Structure 1
Amino acid sequence: MKIDIDSIKKGGQNTLDLNFALDLNTIDYYGDVMNLISPVDVNGKIYVIDDRLYINLSITADMQADCSRCLEPFTYSFKSSVNAEFVHESLSNQNGEEPDEDIIYYRESTVDLDELIKENMIMNIPMKLVCHKGCKGLCSNCGEKIEGHSCDCEIQESKEEYLDPRLAKLKELLEQD
């Protein structure tokens, strides 16, 4: 969605309420493609103070994800907020200072919010998505889903009993000391 800043200023308004749906099908999340089940709902306000534009947005969306523990697909309810400051690039170097990294500079009198929203979504998706807190994941021996399924593997009662064969030589070296 593109916002025309000049029209907000000319209308004598200092604020503009936003309520729109951004129609995205997928988000490229560091090589993983995440499908969005519903449009991205965006609600918020834009404040214009002098030549600065302040944006406060609330973003919600439902996306299809794979659980990081059990690899089963599930629906993840994404929620985030955006607080950003836009400044015209002609004002960026008035004092000869370095440009501030927290400020977004724009050229024309319009600001495109789509890229800001996509970037915010990518930055705020958790690295490990889990279908629910109690997900037990997969059996480390056979790869079968632990929850709701049974495998024929012997479950080790104590972690001390089980020794990864790749670390057996290291254990021998530690016992020598």
Structure 2
Amino acid sequence: MMIRTAIALAAVSLVAACGTMAPMAPTYSQAALPATVQVPAGNKVSMETVGVGDITYECRAKAAAAGEFEWVFVGPDARLLDRSGRQVGKYYGPPATWESADGSKLTAVQLAVAPNVAGSIPLQLVKANPAMGAGAMQGVTFIQRVDTRGGVAPATPCTAATLGSKQVVKYQADYIFYKAM
């Protein structure tokens, strides 16, 4: 009886202590980002993921320059991982689509980009379109792409001889999802 009472008192104390704790703050802050890719006020972080995967580029003729060629972004193919490394979704395209493991998914419209360190794709802010399906993507308003590593167009020349060829490059980026408060 005494042991049961002691356990009950410990449980009550633990619940009371947890009730007075402040909610965990998001681990991500956008304060150091360029203003162009900061999320507007009135939105809060709903999910943080790390995208790890590939970006495909294709060698194509430049539209406005006869006889010139360039590597053109075709689309991403990445796993979305939570901060502990567990896969929680995927990111693919075209069109650029973020899909949660629960089946909900969305596309988005690019609002802004900002340069990142050399050799890495730019930081990005997109406005989410309404989600398809119920789940984690439902209600997402904005997505930021930050802390990018790699993913830039291939360094190999894009020429008439390589026209139409595709190259895949590795990349990683944090995708931070926001919902209206």
TM-score by length of 2: 0.27
- Structure ID, larger Rg: 1
Greater per-residue strand proportion: 2
More helix by share: 1
TM-score by length of 1: 0.27
**RCO higher in structure (CA 8 A, sep ≥6):** 2
